[in-house]
Amino acid sequence: MTINQTQDEIISEFSLLDGDMEMTVFYIMELGQKLPTMPEEDKTEENIVKGCQSKVWLTSKLEDGKVYFFADSNTAITKGLVSLLTRIFNGQSPEAILSTDLYFMNKIGMERFIGTQRSNGFAAMIKQMKLYALAYKTKMEVRL
Amino acid sequence: MTTHHVLSSGLDVETLRKQFPVLHQQVNGRDLVYFDNAATSQKPISVINALIDYYQGYNANIHRGIHTLAEKATRAYEETRQVARSFINAKSVQEIIFTRGVTEGINLIASSYGRTFINEGDEIIISGLEHHSNIVPWQFVRDERKAKLNVIPVRDNGQLDLEAYKKLLSNKTKIVAVNHASNSLGTINPIREIIQLAHEAGAVVLIDGAQAGPHLPIDVQELDCDFYVVSSHKMYGPTGTGFLYGKKEILENIPPYHGGGEMIRECTFEKTTYNDLPYKFEAGTPNIGDVIAFKHAMEFIQSLGRESIAAHEHELLTYATARVSSLKGVKLVGTAPEKVSVLSFIIDGIHPFDIGQMLDARGIAVRTGHHCTQPLMDRFGIEGTVRASFAVYNTKKEIDQLVEGLERIINFLK
């Protein structure tokens, strides 16, 4: 599945919630609960993407030219939001990740959760994912 | 015919709520429940109208204009100073300095008093309950003057340890700066005793009244505090203003904080002489419109009576405390016997941020996080709390909505 196919899939899932904010929040948290748990030893200061109120840990690996992210958060909502990103990006090439426009965020009303608030590390998280992708891309080019 | 439930405080809250336009709206499909009053309170229509009247009717710069609008604006501005004087029972209007709010008031004293009277080896005492705005200005003074900053410890229930305070006091203590009530926990501090003990040691006292202004009767003469600061926006008034009370004899003996217009008597390139109190501390064009409207906020409080407000809010706090603390996994943070209407809590295994987001999804506004009191959160070994803070327009029905919301969250996440 391409990145945009996954984004479209997410948009269609969220459209079933019909804009009900409470249902949306519960759904996001449910998604977070399904995110595979990150090994405690990876929850280091180094892997932290820091927001004001919630913490996000992020690691990644490159396998056969594809990127895989592993993430966790100390807050359920941020964890759910993060799970959407790993779902979209995992198994994609560094180039595809770098050129992605994350239009699904606007479509599912996610700006409500990231918006102007400093309170979660979500915006920093996206930036960090793209930085990992950029590093892998550079590494692959050097190898070629 | 509708009959309104009149509370033991004698207040008819349903009628009173009609004065607050912002309360009558839906958020995320439900009636707004506004429980973030310790951050800022909503404004009654009299305050909103005062702002409109000023800008539509007599906007002008004050004090030096001789035209009619300037005269009218000056009179309205100075009327607020008179109401402020009576609001805290200061001796004279010269003791009321308009500021941007509590933060500026504290910075003013830390700078003007601190740089004049605090020297190397002197000591400053604050408490473990302080907001960052009553910590950081004193760190500036400490570093600049090579002084020492001591902290009154907080007991497990959120009260200050007065025995420890007595031990901290000495003839080296120059100033004690504590809040009247804690913004994070609600604890009302025994400031009369704190002030008396400080005076016996020869120190002056600044009281941060940010959380007391909207809730408690304040009599600066009876308290005998040297400085008292409040913010308008927590007292049903506009943002961006507040005032500093200072004893006249002290204010006369400390230098101005900011230089500029209004605060001078004569200005040449060689020398400037300063204006009399209170203008010596009010450099530049002040926040005229908001100060004028602030009068109506204080009058709103006075018209209800602070005893009635306190009685109603106490009833809300008692009810909320009982209901919220009975929920599974809830731990209250701050259980002092004397509190303003602040309920801080954590829920086992659920991050405050998630609770805040989920309550917002039900139209309920609370505060989550460290509430600008990180050292206090460290003291309790927590990252933050959920804080519901009540104002005079809140109701028990709204508390029921909060409890219902919390029950849903707890059930969902367990």
Q: Which of A52, A64, A141, A144 is catalytic?
A: A52
Q: How far is A23 from chain B (nearest CA, A)?
A: 9
The yes-or-no verdict on residue B114 having pLDDT over 50 is yes
When CB atoms are compared, the residue of A25, A52, A74 closest to B357 is: A25
Q: How many CB pairs under 8 A join A and B?
A: 47
- Whole-angstrom CA distances from B220 to B86, B129, B286, B352 are 10, 21, 24, 37
Please give, one letter per residue, the 3-state secondary structure of B9-48: CCCCHHHHHCCCHHHCCEECCEECEECECCCCCCCCHHHH
- The answer, yes or no, to whether residue A96 has pLDDT greater than 70, is yes
Residue limits of CATH 3.90.1150.10 in chain B: 13-43+305-413
Rounded to whole angstroms, how far apart are CA atoms B86 and B84?
Answer: 5
- Best interface-test mutation with B: which of A29, A50, A75 has the largest number of B CBs within 10 A? A75
**In chain B, which residues have their Cβ closer than 8 Å to the Cβ of A113?**
357
Answer yes or no: do A76 and B413 touch at CB < 8 A: yes
pLDDT value, residue A136: 96
- ipTM field: 0.87
Instruction: Out of 3.40.50.920, 3.40.50.2300, 3.90.1150.10, 3.20.20.70, select the CATH number for domain B13-43+305-413.
Output: 3.90.1150.10
Which pairing describes strands B342-347 and B364-365: parallel, antiparallel, or unpaired? unpaired
What's the mean pLDDT in B52-57? 98
Average pLDDT of the segment spanning A35-61: 86
User: A115: pLDDT confidence band, cut at 50, 70 and 90?
Assistant: low
- Best B351, B370, B383 residue to mutate vs chain A (most A CBs within 10 Å): B351
Give the pLDDT score at B319: 98
User: In chain B, pLDDT over 70 holds for what percent of residues?
Assistant: 98
Are the Cβ atoms of B369 and A22 closer than 8 angstroms? no
Residue from B132, B348, B357, B383 whose CB has the most chain A CBs within 10 Å, to mutate: B357
- Give the DSSP H or E segment for A60: strand A55-63
pLDDT digits (tens, 9 = 90+) for B121-153: 999 999 999 999 999 999 999 999 999 999 999
Residue numbers of A between 24 and 83 with CB closer than 8 Å to B = 24-26, 29, 52-54, 74-78
Bridge partners (DSSP) listed for residue B176: B125, B205
Place of tokens 């001591």: B150
**Mean pLDDT, chain A, as a whole number?**
88
| Euclidean distance between CA atoms B284 and A7, whole angstroms | 54
Mean pLDDT of B210-221: 97
- B320-323 long-range contacts, CB within 8 A, separation 24+: B320/B388, B320/B390, B320/B399, B320/B402, B323/B399, B323/B400, B323/B403
Q: Contact B354/A53, CB-based, under 8 Å? A: no
Task: Note the pLDDT of residue B2.
Answer: 41
Chain A partners within 8 Å of B361 (Cβ): 21-22, 24-25
Q: What is the CATH number of the domain that holds A49?
A: 3.90.1010.10
Using the Cα atoms of residue B327, residue A25, residue B384 and residue A36 in order, give the sign of their dihedral: positive
Is the pLDDT confidence value at A54 over 90? no
Q: Among all residues of chain B, which has the CA nearest to that of A112?
A: B357
Contact by Cβ (8 Å): B53, B60 = no
Contacting residues of A for B357, CB less than 8 Å apart: 25, 77, 113
pLDDT at A75 over 90: no
Instruction: Determine whether B372 is an active site residue.
Output: yes
State the Cα–Cα distance between residues B327 and A37, nearest whole angstrom: 28
Q: CATH 3.40.640.10: which residues of chain B?
A: 48-303
The pLDDT score that the predictor gives to residue A121 is: 66
Range B29-33, long-range pairs (CB < 8 A, 24+ positions): B29/A20, B29/A21, B29/B363, B30/B362, B30/B363, B31/B363, B31/B401, B32/B363, B32/B365, B33/B363, B33/B364, B33/B365, B33/B398, B33/B401, B33/B402
Pick from B350, B358, B383: which is nearest to A25 by CB?
A: B358
CB contact under 8 A, B369 and A24: no
Q: Are strands B30-31 and B33-34 parallel, antiparallel or unpaired?
A: unpaired
In whole angstroms, give the CA distance from residue B408 to residue B412: 6
Q: Is the confidence at residue B335, as pLDDT, over 90? A: yes
- Mean pLDDT check: name the lowest of A31-40, A118-127, B214-223, B323-332: A118-127
Nearest Cα residue in chain B from A119: B353
Q: Which of B357, B383, B384 sits opposite A77 (nearest CB)?
A: B357
Tell me the C-alpha distance between B336 and B65, whole Å: 51
A53 to B362: CB separation less than 8 angstroms, yes or no: no
Structural domain including A53 reads 3-143
Mean pLDDT of chain B: 95
* pLDDT tops 60 at residue B412: yes
B74 has a pLDDT exceeding 70: yes
Give the count of domains, chain A.
1
Confidence bin at A53 (pLDDT 50/70/90): low
Q: What are the CA-CA distances from residue A19 to residues A4, A14, B413 (Å)?
A: 22, 8, 21
- Of residues B28, B354, B383, nearest to A21 (C-beta): B28
Among the listed residues B250, B264, B372, B403, the single catalytic one is B372
Residue B342 in contact with residue B214, Cβ under 8 Å? Answer: no
Residue B321 contacts residue B345 (beta carbons within 8 Å): no
- Sort out which chain B residues have CB atoms less than 8 A from A118's CB and list them: none
Q: Are B353 and A120 a contacting pair at CB < 8 A?
A: yes
3-state helix, strand and coil shares in percent for chain B, rounded to the nearest 5 = 45, 20, 40
Closest CA of chain B from A77, distance in Å = 6
Identify the closest residue of chain A to B369 by CA–CA distance.
Answer: A53
- Mean pLDDT along residues A79-93: 94
What would the two tokens of residue B137 be? 């200005």
Segment B35-41 shows an average pLDDT of 98
Q: Which residues in chain A have their CB less than 8 angstroms from residue B359's CB?
A: none
With cut-offs at 50, 70 and 90, classify the pLDDT of residue B3.
Answer: very low
Contact B161, B110 (CB under 8 A): no
Set of chain A residues whose Cβ sits within 8 Å of the Cβ of B355: none
At residue B1, does pLDDT exceed 50?
no
Q: How far apart are CA A58 and CA A71, in angstroms?
A: 5
Which pLDDT does position A55 carry in this prediction? 84
Direct distance between the N- and C-terminal alpha carbons of chain A, in angstroms, rounded to an integer = 26
Q: Is B351 in contact with A20 (Cβ distance < 8 A)?
A: no
Question: Shortest Cα distance from B363 to chain A (angstroms)?
Answer: 9
Whether the CB-CB separation of B37 and B233 falls below 8 Å is answered with no
Which range, of B17-26, B152-161, B263-272, B387-396, averages the lowest pLDDT?
B263-272
CB neighbours of B197 closer than 8 A, spacing ≥ 6? B165, B166, B169
**Distance between first and last Cα of chain B:** 45
Distance from CA of A76 to the nearest CA of B (A): 6
Q: Which CATH number, 3.30.470.20, 3.40.640.10, 3.40.50.720, 1.10.420.10, labels domain B48-303?
A: 3.40.640.10
